[in-house]
Structure 1
Amino acid sequence: MDDERTSQNTSKSQGTGGQASATSPSLLLMRDFVSDWSPLHDASIHGRLLTLKKLISQGSDVNLVTTDQVSPLHEACLGGHAACASVLLKHGAKVNGVTVDWHTPLFSACVSGSVACLNLLLQHGASLHPPCDLASPIHEAAKRGHVQCVEILASHGVNIDHNIKHLGTPLYVACENQQVNCARKLLESGANVNSGKGLESPLHAAARSCSAELVTLLIDFGADIWAKNAKSKRPMELVPPGSPLGRLFLQKEGPLSLMHLCRLSIRRCFGHKQHQKITGLLLPDELKRFLLHV
């Protein structure tokens, strides 16, 4: 699909003349009809910095959008080209521009997993909160396993438990897609271990995917193994009884140890950003590591 779009757009950019000035008939035509593609979009998605600078110096509009409202900044972030994104922002690109699919440049950066683009956008005032639940940056980063993006968004105060009806919470999305490291980072950042998608908990998603690593992680962080989904099924009822994962659930059925209960209680008191707060406590390192699940 991308190859087809690139092929179509290349022919369009040839037709408009990549070196046109701001007042040329071809560029005016693009502005009148909102071209599907422009030389500026092409340079941005492919990271062609010198070409991008030249086009801007010749008067190309950095906020020119396609029929789908995709800007060059969207494309630069989707391609993970921070240098191009920086130039576009320097020349007035809209940091919170929205496409017809409700994608912002921040969302595009989370798709590509570009930490550099993400930091750059946040420095220029990008909104952490999506204009529509159809495109949430934190959910996209969790889905794709971009741990650093999740960490950066969490450190900037994103709603770590943002619950979207058709997606659930970021933690649920991470478990559904078997992104163990993202799930761990979300839990370390204070995500509610039992908040999922409707009555479906993250543990249900982990059990359905048959991931023993995820199941163990969630239970260690206090997941309720007795929670029932909309079909009145507990997580352990979603796995074959005689399977290794089934046996793991049976081992976890008993009451939690006093040490584990204390750890969960302390972490619950700290709420969000508990990882940073626990690190700063005047406690022995061994106790800190226990509280941090290290």
Structure 2
Amino acid sequence: MSLMDISKIFSLLQPRRGRGEEEDEEDEEEGERCEALHGAVSADDPALLSRLLSQEGYRRCIDRRSGWGIPQTPLRAAASRGHLRCLEVLLQHHAEVDSLDVKAQTPLFAAVSGKHPECAAALLRAGADPNGSPYNNCSPLLTAAREGDADVLRELLGHGAEVDARSKVPEWAANATACRGPLYISAVYGHLDCFKLLLLHGANPDYNCTDRKMLGRIKQPKTVAEVCLRYGCGAEYVRLLVDFGADVYLPALIVDKTTERNDALALLLKERVYPKTLMTQTRIAIRRQLPLANKEPSIERLDIPLILRKYLNHVILSI
């Protein structure tokens, strides 16, 4: 906790001076209105919430934080509980979509963490930042990758979330942990559908971190392929990395008689010997020329036969 935070806490504990009774009564009334809004959200009563917000006094409290534990706005409370109808009412009355709690978490982050995809989708449609808050170390995308929630991951990527997002740490604190992005996490937790989805939207198949400055501070940065081998991911993970253009010569592999052989390692060693087919190289080259944001829809807009669009989207792996 910083000195500024401590000072702020002590200032809140100081007795109020120079305030009239009317001002104290007004604060008390606003507190009651705020509690009423939170009560309606907690009870998942959108009709009551709508009636309250039809009054000017309650609308003034729509973004006020309250509650035990972590003080939060009514919107964050609705997102964390998965109360979609209340969340939609709050958005209709212009609740601040990216309001922060004391942990610098947005309502979208709360919806993703709570595994409420409908709430997450509604917040994104209302303009929520898909990358969450720059003041929070984690992000909605990292959370969705860890939980294996492909539907939420697709929504976030479709609204422009950074596909190679990483934990936000200072440069001086850079280490291998700081480079653990969504692709790394989805492999470690065994979420193959999320792993492929991230690659389809342009995730770097070589390094999970694309920040050259950050990589330069780490002695031996691990490639995604090395991570897959280390955590015992199946050959399908390595196959996807190869198909999406990973450099098979980058992983520093020490292979001798004591090395445990498996399908994933055998596939990687085979790819080092046999060159890629011309069609595979063409697919990789075309995908690299597409805009980085939302590669999947970019392919759908290409004026080429459907079977080729499917091939570029890895719907089929051969023609």
Structure 1 length as normaliser, TM-score? Answer: 0.75
Aligned partners of 1:235, 1:146: CA distance in 2, in Å?
35
Partners of 1:139 and 1:169 within 8 A in 2: yes
Q: Does 1:149 align with 2:152?
A: yes
- Post-superposition offset of 1:56: 4.9
- Matching residue of 2:7: none
Quick one: distance in 1 between partners of 2:310 and 2:255? Answer: 29
Counterpart of 1:269? 289
Give the gaps of 5 or more residues in structure 2: 1-22, 170-177, 210-214, 216-220
In structure 2, the CA distance between the partners of 1:42 and 1:185, relative to structure 1 (3 Å rule), is farther
Aligned to 1:4: none
CA contact (8 A) 1:227 1:235 kept: no
- Cα distance in 2 for residues equivalent to 1:84 and 1:194: 43
Cα drift, residue 193 of structure 1: 1.6
8 Å contact from structure 2 (residues 181, 208) kept in 1: yes
Shift of 1:248: 3.0
- Residue 109 (1) aligns with residue 111 (2): yes
1:128/1:29 Cα in 2 relative to 1: closer, same or farther (>3 Å)?
same
Alignment of 1:1-294 (within 5 A): 28=28, 31=31, 38=35, 40-41=37-38, 43-45=40-42, 47-53=44-50, 56=53, 61-66=61-66, 68-129=70-131, 130-164=133-167, 166=178, 168-197=180-209, 198=215, 199-212=221-234, 213-228=236-251, 233-234=252-253, 241-254=260-273, 255-272=275-292, 273-294=294-315
Pick which of 249-258 and 56-65 moved more.
56-65
Deviation at 1:245, TM superposition (A): 3.0
Q: 1:235 to 1:207 in 2, by over 3 A?
A: farther
Matched residues in 2 for 1:118 and 1:235: separation? 44
Between the aligned partners of 1:204 and 1:102, the Cα distance in structure 2 is 33
Letter matched to residue 225 of structure 2: L
Deviations 1:34-57 (A, max 9, x none): x9xx56445435634345446656
Q: Secondary structure at the match of 1:226?
A: coil
| Contact 2:105 2:136 survives alignment (8 Å) | no
2:9 is matched with: none
Tell me how large the CA RMSD over aligned residues is.
Answer: 3.4
- TM-score norm. by structure 2 comes to 0.69
> Larger radius of gyration, structure 1 or 2?
2
Identical-residue share of aligned pairs (%): 29
